[in-house]
Chain A
Amino acid sequence: MLMMKKILFSPLLGLGLLLSPLTAGAETIPPQQAWQHLFEADLPGGGLLFHTYGETEPLVLEHLGTEENGVSRYRSRSGAEITLRTSRAAEGYGQVEVSVTQNGKEPLLLEPELVCRFPRGDQHWFDGFAEQSQPQGRDEICGTLPFVALYDGKHGTALGLNPNDLASDFRSRLSEEEGSYRLSFSSRMVIAPGKTETRRFILFSFTPDYGYLNAIGEYQRFFPAVFEATPGIHPETHGPLLGGLAWRTQNDRYLGKDPKYNQKISDVIRWMGGGWEWCYAGFGYRPGDWLCTEEETGNWQMPEKGKRIAFTERFNMTAAEYLRQHQEAFERIEPFGIASMMYIIPNYCEEELARERYPDSIYYDDQNKPRSAGPPWVVQHDRSLQMYPYGNSFGDYTLEAIKTIVTRSDIAGFAFDCIDRARYPYHGPGVERSPGQAYDDKGRIFVNSEIAHAKFGEAVHDLHRDGLTMALTGNFRGDTGSYLAARVLDAILIEHSPWDERPLAQNVRYLMGRKSITWLRGFERLPQITERKGEALVEMMDTLTSYTILQGLRLGIYPNFRYVTGNPRLIHYMQVFNDLFRHYQWNPVPGATAPGELWLTRYGYGADGVLAVGNPTAAAVKGELQPASRYFGAATTAWIDYEGRQSLTNRMTGADPTIGFELPRGKALLLAAGLSSQTPFRGEITAQRTRQPDRSHTDRWSFTSPARQAWSVRDVPGYRVGEITLNGKPLEAEVAGSEHRFQVGEGEQVVTVRYLPEIALPDTGALANLPFLNEKKEAGFAVEIPADTAIYRHQAQKLVSFFSNYVLGMADPDKVLPVPVVVRGEAPPEAAVQVVLRENPGAKRTEITVNGSTVTVTGSSPNHLAKGLNALLDVLQDVYPHYGLLQVHEKSSPADHRALEPSLFQQNTDQTYLPWKQP
């Protein structure tokens, strides 16, 4: 293996001056003794270069000395002082921190460049964006990870930027020189007179078992705070986007708080598995007046159709009354248990407000023109201007305003619209106070607009409410967004469809790491979607469903709720997505190999991984999967079908198994790591998972053991190991944390492991026999709630919704199933079935029990009870034949796609975002 110590920084190297048309002077810092404690030895040709812009003479540096701790100091002729600190992080990467103090009178434009040289061979090259086929440079930060990597079949070296540094510019280049490759990574920086600026460059080696994906895996491991959601945020932020589903139905400004919608959306939210909400324009009405004041909004004479109209006249209410409608909507959403993100767009301001109050903060483009969003914009009427919201009047106001918003509004954070603006360099006021300044090819100083957005994100994460850290979500694309915004985002939506290549979804996933991503669009933009009928529509929808599932698994991206609604396959798969995305989490390093035409993705970071193999081709593919056991923390790991559809044979010829399979077109195979051992095993292990209606499952492992061997299984996300048997007899396992260890003797062996869900469910047979509905299709049940609170009333309503809409298919809201709901302590109504929600703060586990005709859901908190009730409804969903909501609306009966009519798709593209027709 090419060791780190052999690759960098020789005291003997002599790179000489590197001059380019943009570089009036450049100087190589010769590595010093102090560097060698980090890099230990040498590879000729590496070093750190300093390019300057606009200097008439090279930046001649005088070495002032090197301290024992590895700190070296230099001084230029013009008086700039440079301090280099080298260190090795515990995670395994080396870091060169470059701090520059400008003592001169003019800003110093400096481009430190980290360079490595390698003997030219059969290497591959990743420029942070993609694997490239030929040497070239890249100065585009959109969609680009801030590091580059060169690797062959065995060794890899990467250099780049510490992603916690906010830099408006970074660039890289691979070039061929005299039989060698020169790999460089640099970042332009601006040091104002009397100021000090710092950049931290990093270097690391990696084993490229899976090419550059190993480098991405290492990079994400080094910086978990960048690639994982902020600790302490609302847990539903990790789920899918709900896309306005709850907000628009609970807000008078949109549809009004109509109970008939409440009845339906609770089922949709349950199918989605919860999630976070995009609470559109929740701040008020006039972008830039984030507090919806009388002064800026209430007194506004709005331009409308060439005339002026007072806000109060237009809406027949004051700004305060308008705002109150939003505030009440946030309160009404709360019982849904989802994470409400207040829509905000800090980089835009209504034009008149911007020109009057914040002229210093308006963004001007290269033609010195303001960028206008043009109508319709946020609230469908206004013309807004692009702003730079940091270090100037608008930035100061905005960062203060969000403190007030968090104090007064019942929210879990913010949804930052248009956060991906990495293509916009800003030159105006605010640059001075912004970190990460850079300069362009003409020497003009700028900051990337996303610097301001990153500072906004940091400010959001500093805010807290009800014990939660405020989260930041937004819409983000790889062709317009950079690591600056991705770094502070906790969850995103992509405003495109699963088949759309434009947003560079793969790069977005690299930039977002483990964080939640949802497609905003679904079927509505397919060609001819509004003109297809019958079988042609079914074919299209089936194809899209399969493709959405495969893309979802490949990239860890949720589908939009409008597409899940009424789509039984996706309703089922949302449980899989939530399990994999939230609990296991997307991993860039597959840890396995499969035929190249298939999509292979790993979920999980430890011994309990899941491998997702998808077939996006036009035909079935027969092949073998070969997981690498060392990536799963064991000498041997055997795999089982996650969904329990088929028996698998793990052929162990060494440490790693080979698993043969045939995968039809459009299908996915999910394999879960199961039985593992720290001792290699040779032979075959047959694995079969059986899933039970009560959501438990049993794994059966059959093999012939050549000798006594220690094995183990693990608790996995959402499940704990219950009974383990060996050849039909209970087996006592040694439990260490989540691991259950046991010994297996020589000969033929059958090990069974039962996994119990976190929520204890009853025998579904007992549930199925209860007359929730009588023969006349009337409600046969009553509900008892622990207290008369909004959240418990909402839980009761979910049961009513389930039977009214989903089971009986009632399209008419006036025909809602009448169901008695009483508060604990009140006289129970007469009903064949009693559903009792019981809050027990001491309960260690949420459980559902059936005792005679009483179904009891017990949980330690309203939140746990809500989840318990959802689990009950999921089971009932399997018990009762049901309708999808789309079919319910059209009063058509088959529970597949065959009755879908084009009008529904048209309906789905309107502004309501509802999957059913409005009255």
Chain B
Amino acid sequence: MKPYLLLLLAIVTLGTRPALADELEAKVPYLADIASAGWDFDAPPWKKAGRVDHLAKMGAVTMLGVSFHEEARQPTTIHLARDRDALYFGFDCADPDAKNLEKSGAATESEGFPEGDRIELYLEGDQASRQAYYHLAFNVAGARYRALQHNRVETGSWSVRTRFLKDRWQAIVRIPYADIGLDPAQAEMRGMFYRMYRPDDRENGREQTTWGGRGVHQWSALGLLKLEPIP
């Protein structure tokens, strides 16, 4: 049985009602040489990075102690690291037709929200006291978007690189602390990751996955990113 068929199987677990935001946690190690890292996420320095690999279909819910959630058909792994100036996220997105994906999506940033297959990040930055977050999004063509919650702001200096392989596409994102107002001395920050797969194929393919299957644009649903101190 192919791996992706296994993932089609339902995963319904019994458990206690989760304490939101406390259950999802990932480390963001300090890696001095991460800025010069290549695409091989299994090789140093990415090998020492933190990982988030449980993107589930958005809409997971726990009611009366019963959790209902569903794993992604197209898995996504996220590698996390930081250096003195920025956060780094390496996205590894399974996609059986990634080569064709390369041709889709608009690279322009002038018109609204990035269209097509995309990744969105929700990062608390300096907004903890307001229970708010920055919303950063990019599509496979590299078009970026930045907002403070729903209000679009100047895109900022954060950068995205993408590449396309036979069965996956990858992205390396660098987010300078200033773009989200993050104090480098901060030990933790809340965040959320979202992936949109085939938005135009509502009948068969479209899939929205998030960290833990939680909702987006929802401060209380953000997971916890533990930031390793900068030496």
Contact = CB atoms under 8 A, between A and B. Distances in A.
Nearest to A525: B59
Contacts of B12: 528, 536
A547 B152 contact: no
A501 B215 contact: yes
B17 interface: yes
Contact of A137 (B112, B129, B132, B154): B129
Interface in B148-185: 149-154
A365 B111 CA distance: 12
A365 B151 contact: yes
A408 interface: no
In this complex, the member of B131, B153, B221 whose beta carbon has the largest number of chain A beta carbons within 10 angstroms is: B131
Interface stretch (B43-51, B61-69, B77-85): B61-69
Contacts of B130: 138-140
Interface in A593-631: 616-619
B52 interface: no
Given A366-B153, A367-B154, A501-B20, A546 B61 contact: no
A367 B10 CA distance: 44
B223 interface: no
Nearest to A143: B131
- Name which of B60, B65, B68 has the most chain A CB atoms within 10 A of its CB: B68
A527 interface: yes
Given A501-B20, A527-B59, A618 B64 contact: yes
A567 to B, nearest CB: 16
A423 B151 contact: yes
Contact of A423 (B68, B150, B153): B150
Contacts of B70: 527-528
Name the residue among A527, A531, A532 with the largest chain B CB count within 10 angstroms. A527
B114 interface: no
Nearest to B14: A618
A547 B60 contact: no
Most buried by B among A367, A372, A497: A367
Interface in B67-98: 68-70
Contacts of B60: 527
A831 interface: no
Interface in A43-63: none
A544 interface: yes
Nearest to B154: A367
B64 A546 contact: yes
Contacts of B59: 525-527
A618 B16 contact: yes
B113 to A, nearest CB: 9
A528 B150 contact: no
A355 B129 CA distance: 40
Contacts of A501: 20, 215, 218, 220-221
A822 to B, nearest CB: 51
Nearest to A529: B68
Given A372-B112, A500-B215, A502-B215, A527 B61 contact: yes
Nearest to B213: A527
Interface majority SS on B: helix, strand, loop or mixed? loop
A531 B73 CA distance: 14
A733 B78 CA distance: 74
B57 interface: yes
Nearest to B214: A501
A374 interface: yes
Interface in A120-176: 129, 136-140
B206 interface: no
A617 B17 contact: yes
Contacts of B218: 479, 501-502
Contacts of B65: 617-619, 665
A136 B132 CA distance: 13
Contacts of B10: 528, 531-532, 536
Contacts of B57: 527
Contacts of A367: 152, 154
Contacts of A210: none
Contact of B61 (A136, A140, A479, A526): A526
B149 A544 contact: no
Given A139-B130, A479-B218, A480-B150, A665 B64 contact: yes
A544 B63 contact: yes
A829 to B, nearest CB: 51
Given A374-B112, A547-B63, A618-B17, A528 B68 contact: yes
Interface in B173-220: 213, 215, 217-218, 220
A540 interface: yes
A502 B220 CA distance: 8
B132 to A, nearest CB: 7
Contacts of B213: 527
Interface residues of B, number: 34
Interface string A535-575: 01001100110110000000000000000000000000000
Contacts of A372: 112
A315 interface: no
Interface in A458-514: 479-480, 497, 499-502
Contacts of A619: 65
Interface in A348-397: 365-367, 372, 374
Contact of B66 (A136, A480, A500, A543): A543
Nearest to A421: B150
B129 A666 contact: no
Nearest to B62: A499
A539 B10 CA distance: 14
Contacts of B150: 423, 480
A366 B60 CA distance: 34
Interface in B102-131: 112, 129-131
A618 B218 CA distance: 25
Contacts of B17: 616-618
A31 B62 CA distance: 53
A502 B218 CA distance: 5
A442 to B, nearest CB: 12
Interface string A53-80: 0000000000000000000000000000
Q: Of B17, B64, B152, which is in contact with the most chain A CB atoms at under 10 Å from its CB?
A: B64
A599 to B, nearest CB: 12
Contacts of B129: 136-137
A543 B63 contact: yes
Nearest to B219: A479
A540 B218 CA distance: 25
Contacts of B220: 501
A407 B63 CA distance: 47
B215 to A, nearest CB: 5
A534 to B, nearest CB: 13
A418 to B, nearest CB: 12
A3 B116 CA distance: 60
Contacts of B152: 365-367
A544 B61 CA distance: 10
Given A501-B221, A502-B218, A526-B59, A617 B149 contact: no
Given A366-B153, A479-B217, A499 B64 contact: no
A543 B62 CA distance: 10
Nearest to A539: B66
Contacts of A139: 130
Nearest to A667: B64
A770 B34 CA distance: 83
A372 B111 CA distance: 10
8 contacts: A137-B129, A365-B151, A366-B153, A499-B63, A502-B221, A528-B68, A528-B70, A547-B64
The 3 closest A-B pairs by CB, nearest first: A618-B65, A527-B70, A547-B63
Interface of A: 129, 136-140, 365-367, 372, 374, 423-424, 479-480, 497, 499-502, 525-528, 531-532, 536, 539-540, 543-544, 546-547, 616-619, 665-666
Given A500-B215, A531-B10, 15 more contacts: A139-B130, A140-B131, A365-B151, A423-B150, A499-B62, A501-B215, A501-B220, A528-B70, A536-B10, A540-B68, A616-B64, A617-B17, A618-B16, A618-B64, A666-B64
